[in-house]
Amino acid sequence: MPIRTKLAASLVLIATFGSGLARAEDWQGFKDQLTAAGVTPSVVYDGDVAQAISGGVKQGTIYSGNLHLQLALDGNRLAALPGLSAFLDGLWINAGQPSKYVGDAQGVDNIATLPTLRLYEAWLQYNFPGSHVSILAGLYDLNTEFYRLTSSDLFLNGSFGTGPEFGLSGIAGPSIYPATALGVRLAYKPGLNSVVRIAVLDGAPLYPQDGSLPPLNPDNGLLLVGEVAFLTRPPPDDGSPGPQARKHIGRLNTLPPYEDKIAIGAWYYTASPDQLSAASATGGPLPRRGEGGAYLLVDHLLLQSADDPKRRLAGFVQLGVANQSVDRIGSYIGVGLVASGVFPGRPDDQLGIAAAMARNGSRYVAEQQQDGVPVAPAETALELSYVVQATSWLAVQPDVQYVISPNTDPRLRNATVAQLRFELSF
Q: What is the CATH number of the domain that holds 155?
A: 2.40.160.180
Q: What is the mean pLDDT of residues 331-347?
A: 95
- 11-15, 336-340, 374-378: least confidently modelled range: 11-15
Return phi, psi of residue 208, to 5°.
Answer: -60, 145
The band of 25, judged by pLDDT with boundaries at 50, 70 and 90, is low
Residue 379 has pLDDT above 80, yes or no: yes
Task: Establish whether the linkage from the previous residue to 178 is cis, with ω within 30° of 0.
Answer: yes
- Return the number of other C-beta atoms located less than 10 Å from residue 352's C-beta: 23
* Ranges of H-type helices in 62-182: 75-79, 99-102, 164-167
7-11-13 Cα angle (round to 5): 115
- Which residues are paired to 351 by β-bridges? 339, 386
Q: How far apart are CA 183 and CA 396, in angstroms?
A: 34
Q: How far apart are CA 87 and CA 107, in angstroms?
A: 28
Residue partners of 352: CB distance under 8 A and separation at least 6: 151, 154, 155, 336, 337, 338, 339, 383, 384, 385, 386
DSSP SS3 for 274? strand
Return phi, psi of residue 66, to 5°.
Answer: -145, 155
**pLDDT confidence of residue 42:** 95
User: What percent of the chain lies above the pLDDT cut of 70?
Assistant: 86
Q: How far apart are CA 274 and CA 29, in angstroms?
A: 55
DSSP SS3 for 235? coil
Q: Do 95 and 65 meet the contact criterion of CB atoms below 8 Å apart?
A: yes
Residue partners of 284: CB distance under 8 A and separation at least 6: none
- Return the number of other C-beta atoms located less than 10 Å from residue 22's C-beta: 8
Residue span of the structural domain in which 227 resides? 3-425
Residue 267, amino acid: W
Q: Do 204 and 230 meet the contact criterion of CB atoms below 8 Å apart?
A: no
The band of 274, judged by pLDDT with boundaries at 50, 70 and 90, is low
Residue 285 has pLDDT above 60, yes or no: no
- pLDDT one-digit tens code per residue, 209-245: 666 678 888 888 999 999 999 999 876 555 554 545 5
**pLDDT confidence of residue 96:** 86
255-338-49 Cα angle (round to 5): 100
- Domains held by the chain: number: 1
**pLDDT confidence of residue 279:** 45
The band of 246, judged by pLDDT with boundaries at 50, 70 and 90, is low
- pLDDT one-digit tens code per residue, 32-62: 888 888 999 999 999 999 999 999 999 999 9
Q: Do 386 and 351 meet the contact criterion of CB atoms below 8 Å apart?
A: yes
The band of 284, judged by pLDDT with boundaries at 50, 70 and 90, is very low
Return phi, psi of residue 207, to 5°.
Answer: -105, 105
Residue 14 has pLDDT above 90, yes or no: no
For the chain, the average pLDDT equals 88
**pLDDT confidence of residue 210:** 65
**pLDDT confidence of residue 18:** 47
Residue 199 has pLDDT above 90, yes or no: yes
**pTM of the shown model:** 0.89
Residue 340 has pLDDT above 50, yes or no: yes
H or E stretch at 246: none
Q: What is the mean pLDDT of residues 249-265?
A: 91
* Ranges of H-type helices in 83-180: 99-102, 164-167
Q: Do 91 and 118 meet the contact criterion of CB atoms below 8 Å apart?
A: yes
Q: How far apart are CA 90 and CA 113, in angstroms?
A: 16
Q: What is the mean pLDDT of residues 267-284?
A: 64
- Return the number of other C-beta atoms located less than 10 Å from residue 15's C-beta: 10
Q: Do 314 and 351 meet the contact criterion of CB atoms below 8 Å apart?
A: no
**pLDDT confidence of residue 135:** 98
- pLDDT one-digit tens code per residue, 382-407: 999 999 999 989 999 999 999 999 99
Q: What is the mean pLDDT of residues 180-184?
A: 97
Residue partners of 92: CB distance under 8 A and separation at least 6: 66, 67, 69, 116, 117
**pLDDT confidence of residue 12:** 46
**pLDDT confidence of residue 94:** 87
Residue 278 has pLDDT above 90, yes or no: no
Q: How far apart are CA 150 and CA 197, in angstroms?
A: 18
